[in-house]
Amino acid sequence: MTPARSSLKRHQTRTAYLFLGLPLLFFLIVRFLPTFMALQMSLFDWNILKEQQPFVGFENYERLAQDEKFKTALRNTALYTLIGVPAQIGLGLVLALMLSRIKAFRGLYRALYFAPFVTPIVAAAWVWQWLFSPQFGPVNTVLMWLHIPPQQFLTSPSQALATTAGLVVWQNLGFQIVLFLAGLAAIPRTYYEAAEIDGATGLQAFRGITLPLLNPTIVFSVVTGTISYLQLFTQVVNLNFTDQGGPLGSTMTVALYIYQMAFGRFEMGYASAVTVVLFVLILLITVIQLKFLTRRYEA
């Protein structure tokens, strides 16, 4: 290699590291620094209304173990995840399969399904609140036409969580459809042609070709969807703005509980402890999902 070419290569390498290093530095400052600060604050009785911020060690975490409201928020968050992630992935895959087969107005249908994903969450939540209003909501009007008793939906402790999860699924469905459409488009058609020659049915081709080759897309959807539901906040706040997390705590999430502790009661230390616990849970669940799903695919 000539000296000029070697010098050019070194210059290109330094430039590449510079462009890679700046976003990495920004990511470290924006993401990791607040995480370490939250971990530090969780060891103090940090209240902005107090002059002193005494060190309390792990007392905030001991308080968490006995906090029934936190346990309710954690249980609700788990229910949101268990309902929402399978629903949006299953519906997204089915609709993507249907949309991949149509020819006429293909772009229009895809745009209609993707529209909720780019709709502001606050606006969608307020519309959803009107649709499911017990007094004058269109959904209850349709139910009465069908001779079905009107439901309480967002004002019922037994129905509010499922109704809220429905909003999140509806909003994320368009994104899931786009992911699966991209995954389906990447599967070579020759595989299906070979399966058809061998006499495989549509279901057999789906189980033997489509699902295995969509595994990376499914893994990505499961992981990102789980993280999104574990951090659920905006929809819950705006669906019942006068009783956030209600009725009777039935829609409370861990993220909303952190917000209430930090900015409602100004208990920053305790809120930081909840944040650390949520961070650890998300990290553990993500690692388990990646390891489990990848192993199952390789097998």
% of the chain with per-residue pLDDT over 90: 36
Q: Which residue has the tokens 């999104």?
A: 228
**Which pLDDT tens digit goes with each residue over 240-285?**
877 888 888 899 999 999 999 988 888 899 999 999 999 999 999 9
SS (H, E, C) the chain: CCHHHHHHHHHHHHHHHHHHHHHHHHHHHHHHHHHHHHHHHCCECCECCCCCCCECCCHHHHHHHHCHHHHHHHHHHHHHHHHHHHHHHHHHHHHHHHHCCCCCCHHHHHHHHHHHHHCCHHHHHHHHHHHCCCCCCHHHHHHHHCCCCCCCHHHCCCCHHHHHHHHHHHHHHHHHHHHHHHHHHCCCHHHHHHHHHCCCCHHHHHHHHHHHHCHHHHHHHHHHHHHHHHCCCHHHHHHCHHHCCCCCCCCCCHHHHHHHHHHHCCEHHHHHHHHHHHHHHHHHHHHHHHHHHHHHHHC
CB-based burial label for 224 (10 Å; 0-12, 13-18, 19+): middle
**Which pLDDT tens digit goes with each residue over 179-202?**
999 988 888 888 888 888 878 787
**Which pLDDT tens digit goes with each residue over 128-183?**
988 988 888 899 899 889 888 888 888 888 999 999 999 999 999 999 999 999 98
CA angle 198, 201, 205 (to 5 degrees): 80
DSSP 44: B
Q: In this predicted model, which residue has the larger pLDDT, 160 or 46?
A: 160
Inform me whether the pLDDT recorded for 297 exceeds 50. no
Predicted local distance difference test score (pLDDT) of residue 298: 45
Inform me whether the pLDDT recorded for 207 exceeds 90. no
Inform me whether the pLDDT recorded for 3 exceeds 70. no
**Averaged pLDDT of the chain:** 87
What b/e string do you get for 4-27 counting C-beta neighbours within 10 Å, with b at 16 or more? Answer: eeeeeeeeeeeeeeeeeeeeeeee
pLDDT class for 236, splitting at 50, 70, 90?
Answer: very high
Inform me whether the pLDDT recorded for 74 exceeds 70. yes
